[in-house]
Amino acid sequence: MTLIRSWLTAANDPACPFPLNNLPCGVFSTPGTAPRCGVAIGDQVLDVAGMEKAGLLHLADRPLLQAGAWNPLMEAGQTVWEKLRSALMGHLREGAETQDQLAAYLHPLSAVRLHLPFQVTEYTDFYAGKNHAFNVGTMFRGPENALPPNWLHIPIGYNGRASSVVVSGTPVRRPWGQLKGPQDEAPRFAPCVRFDLELEMGAVVGKPSSGPVTVAEADDMIFGYVLLNDWSARDIQAWEYVPLGPFQAKATATTISPWIVTKAALGAFRASTPAREKPLLPYLEEPRPMLYDIELSVELAPEGSAPTEIARTNYREMYYSAAQQLAHHTTSGCPMRVGDLLGSGTISGPTKDSRGSLIELSWGGKEPLTLPGGATRTFLEDGDTLTLKGQCKGEGYTIGFGDCTGTILPALADPFAR
């Protein structure tokens, strides 16, 4: 697919993350106004809630864009998703006669505040990147036992906290928790020392289920994708995760990018999952490519310093697609709801500079990262700002997600001191 030209000239720049091919869905506000649904185009955000209210968008027999979140639109189904995209294409395409009508509904992206784009109903995080799972497993169990026996057969995940999900730009407070080093006789209650990021993608469920679904049906249920940083307290996790897996170590915050890039916008970038080392059970087999060729990177900026890229990888490195994860999630009869969020698991490539977490980049703290100016990192320090970036490169255009950013705040004073 080539660039679809718009009468907004900024949207035709090959480097612009928000061309007409994209039309990502977000929620924004301007000074003195409530958050409302908008779509990014060029260097502007289009107030689609205002357009619907004025009668310039008619999508259903009831308003779908007035709730300050995209859940009602998602719940209306794929036909309405396609109707909205087609209507916006008609309004914004080069040569459209609605340019003057839309002027009142355009706001510079630089002048708006962005909010969570949807109400997160439930949050499940997976462990579905093979390079990451092998690296972490090697650190703790050696390469011969790096992957658990079930890993090549099943997308492993855990139920996280929907309340932990925040939008890009929200500061993240260093957590307290129980810590116990290998030489300690007993745990202590203290601020996390080994605080980490995890570079992930998040799939946004736009259609509910009431029973098991196929992988193809699961793919149809996905409305779109966001960048996701699954902040992780490695030292808290090391003490708590046996026998039931992550708990408080993953409950501090989960940052997502402010724009949902719809599945329709990503269609030209589909990619296949890798060849299987062991055959999957039939219910997990994919009928068509269900990953995406999305270039991903991580930048780290110490307080007062410029950002440095510390990792670069691609979403196509995943061993299980979001559709496979979602299909597996439903096998027990677990109902999926509109607004459910599925974290992909850390996305790491095969080389050191493509590892999507600091525990891998510093190999558990044994190989510190050296930043420009001489600063080093094994894990995150107070004041550090982490930024995840993602893009697809088409013929003369770019599909972007908006940055996924968070800054580490110092831990609170002892919350239980009396």
Question: Mean pLDDT in runs of 10 for the chain (418 residues)?
Answer: 96 98 98 97 98 97 97 98 98 94 96 98 97 95 94 97 98 98 94 98 97 98 98 96 93 98 98 95 97 98 97 98 98 97 98 98 97 96 98 98 98 90
CB atoms within 10 A of CB 41: 25
Q: Report whether the peptide linkage leading into residue 243 is cis, meaning its omega lies within 30 degrees of zero.
A: yes
3-class secondary-structure state, position 108: strand
Give the per-residue pLDDT at 236.
97
Under a CB-based contact definition with an 8 Å cutoff, are residues 340 and 228 in contact? no
How far apart are alpha carbons 261 and 293 in whole angstroms? 14
CA distances for 163 relative to 225, 231, 254, 341, 349, angstroms: 19, 14, 9, 12, 30
Give, for 80, the enclosing helix (H) or strand (E): helix 78-92
- pTM for this structure? 0.97
How far apart are alpha carbons 250 and 235 in whole angstroms? 11
User: At CB < 8 A and 24+ separation, what contacts does 246-249 make?
Assistant: 246/125, 246/158, 246/160, 248/175, 248/177, 249/177
Give the per-residue pLDDT at 160.
96
Burial label for 77, CB within 10 Å (0-12, 13-18, 19+), is middle
Catalytic residue numbers read: 132
